[in-house]
């Protein structure tokens, strides 16, 4: 039957766009569906502050009235300016294993980008680093996380067939929690505390954390992640959006805040109980019963795995042992709560400073994901 690619402009088409992913992966034990409302709001210019400096257009591929593929074309003008690129990003990309469908989807994104002066396409990427990014190229038999993309093995085959090449890779590790902080880390912790006057601060109130440290946390992210692939600094409006959206979900026992002797924020870590199984049970929707699975995972430790969402340290303290303080606090809490493993989530393979942190932990490099690039 004839294939058509149409821009998503109506609520019905947005529903088709989001639900195609659920249908495509309904039988997969590894895919973790995003929440319907999260995808909808992320792609809504009235709700996503990233549209201050981005433009985007979702598309769906239809054959005989049935959705057979989807993709979003994005231009992050701020990132393009920072990295001196003319790049159109593609994200939220899914398709059946069909050459015609894949070629049509990517031809549409490439043409959309060329019409706006872009000279290359790369992805999968979102609006910012807080969106899922990177196509899975290894680890197809491992369950995903709530912060990452799962895709079938035929995805990268099609990308490479079309002439897309590796731009960067991210690694993901499954870490086994040690019974205690490794001796080298413990020694570094003592030295760092004495030399720099650093200490750990913990909060028990989400509102107090947001009030006292919320803006500083995301401003620190802007500093710490400035040199990472494709990063663009979060705007004040984005920062407030993330404070409101994400801080209330955190288990504050797993959020060590590192401050100096003047109480200035210099680093932090954020772990969260794995929500992968809960998201699978929710099937993309909070109601009628999806909320229960998420609450159970967040509040009653129904999993033995955590996800290491964020670790950030001010640039002037990177490589000086400040991260050891984060582990010194988290490991005993992690163990006392009954967790056995932690997912590192994606780390650039070139980020040697971060890779070195795992040298003293039992770890398995169990996933690899890739950003592809093509001149258009």
For residue 95, report the phi and psi dihedrals to the nearest 5 degrees. -160, 155
Beta strand extents in 177-279 (DSSP E only): 199-201, 257-259, 265-273
Better pLDDT: 272 or 140: 140
User: Residue 332 phi/psi, 5° resolution?
Assistant: -65, -35
* Measured distance CA(357)–CA(267) in Å, rounded: 15
Do 248 and 146 touch, CB atoms closer than 8 A? no
Mean pLDDT of 240-262: 93
Please tell me which residue, 287 or 11, carries the higher pLDDT value. 11
Question: Who has greater pLDDT, 298 or 196?
Answer: 196
CA atoms within 13 A on the CB side of 126: 16
pLDDT of residue 74: 98
Pairing of strands 120-123, 87-95: parallel
pLDDT at 32 over 90: yes
* Average pLDDT over every residue of 279-288: 81
Give the mean pLDDT of the chain.
93
pLDDT (average), residues 225-237: 91
pLDDT at 54: 98
**Weakest mean pLDDT among 29-43, 237-251, 304-318, 354-368:** 354-368
* pLDDT score recorded for residue 287: 65
DSSP-derived 3-state class of residue 305 = strand
- Pick the most confident of 64-78, 272-286, 293-307, 309-323: 64-78
Average pLDDT over residues 321-338: 91
pLDDT at 51 over 80: yes
| 34-38, 85-89, 211-215, 357-361: segment of lowest average pLDDT | 357-361
Q: What is the pLDDT of residue 23?
A: 97
Residue 31 has pLDDT above 90, yes or no: yes
What is the C-alpha to C-alpha distance for residues 305 and 334, in angstroms, rounded to an integer?
9
At 292, the pLDDT band (50, 70, 90 cuts) reads confident
Return the bridge partners of 55, or none: 75
Task: Tell me the pLDDT tens digit for each residue of 166-193.
Answer: 999 999 999 998 888 788 888 889 999 9
Asked whether residue 358 carries a pLDDT value surpassing 90, the answer given is no
Pairwise CA distance, residues 277 & 326, whole Å: 27
Distance CA 224, CA 155 (A): 32
Report the b/e string of 30-68 with b at 16+ CB within 10 A. Answer: bbbbbbbeebbebbeeeebbbbebbebbbbbbbbeeebb
Mean pLDDT of 206-220: 96
87-132 pLDDT tens trace: 999 999 999 999 999 999 999 999 999 999 999 999 999 999 889 9
Q: Stretch 254-279: mean pLDDT, rounded?
A: 94
């Amino acid at each position: 039957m004839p294939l058509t690619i149409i821009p998503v402009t109506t609520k019905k088409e947005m529903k088709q766009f989001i639900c195609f992913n659920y249908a495509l992966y309904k039988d997969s034990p590894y895919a973790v569906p995003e929440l319907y409302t999260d995808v909808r709001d992320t792609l809504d210019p009235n709700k996503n502050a990233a549209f201050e400096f981005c433009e985007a257009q979702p598309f769906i591929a239809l054959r005989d009235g049935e959705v057979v593929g989807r993709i979003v074309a994005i231009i992050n003008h701020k990132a393009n300016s920072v990295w001196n690129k003319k790049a159109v990003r593609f994200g939220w990309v899914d398709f059946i294993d069909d050459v015609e469908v894949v070629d049509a989807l990517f031809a549409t994104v490439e043409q959309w980008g060329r019409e706006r002066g872009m000279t290359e396409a790369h992805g999968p990427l979102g609006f910012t680093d807080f969106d899922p990014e990177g196509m899975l190229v290894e680890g197809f038999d491992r369950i995903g996380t709530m912060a990452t993309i799962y895709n079938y093995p035929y995805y990268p085959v099609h990308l490479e067939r079309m002439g897309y090449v590796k731009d960067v890779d991210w690694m993901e590790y499954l870490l086994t929690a040690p019974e205690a902080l490794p001796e080298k880390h413990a020694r570094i912790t003592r030295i760092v505390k004495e030399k720099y006057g650093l200490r750990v601060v913990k909060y028990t109130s989400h509102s107090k954390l947001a009030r006292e440290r919320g803006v500083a946390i995301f401003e620190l992210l802007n500093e710490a992640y400035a040199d990472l692939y494709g990063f663009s600094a979060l705007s004040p409006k984005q920062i407030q959006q993330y404070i409101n959206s994400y801080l209330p979900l955190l288990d504050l026992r797993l959020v060590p805040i590192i401050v100096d002797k003047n109480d200035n924020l210099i680093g932090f870590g954020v772990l969260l109980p794995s929500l992968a199984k809960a998201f699978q049970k929710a099937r993309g929707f909070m109601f009628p019963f999806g909320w229960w699975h998420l609450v159970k995972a967040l509040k009653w430790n129904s999993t033995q795995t955590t996800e290491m969402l964020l670790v950030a340290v001010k640039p002037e303290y990177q490589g000086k042992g400040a991260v050891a303080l984060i582990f010194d606090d988290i490991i005993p809490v992690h163990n006392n709560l009954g967790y056995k493993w932690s997912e590192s989530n994606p780390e650039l393979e070139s980020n040697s400073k971060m890779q070195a942190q795992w040298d003293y932990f039992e770890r398995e490099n169990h996933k690899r994901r890739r950003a592809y690039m093509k001149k258009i």
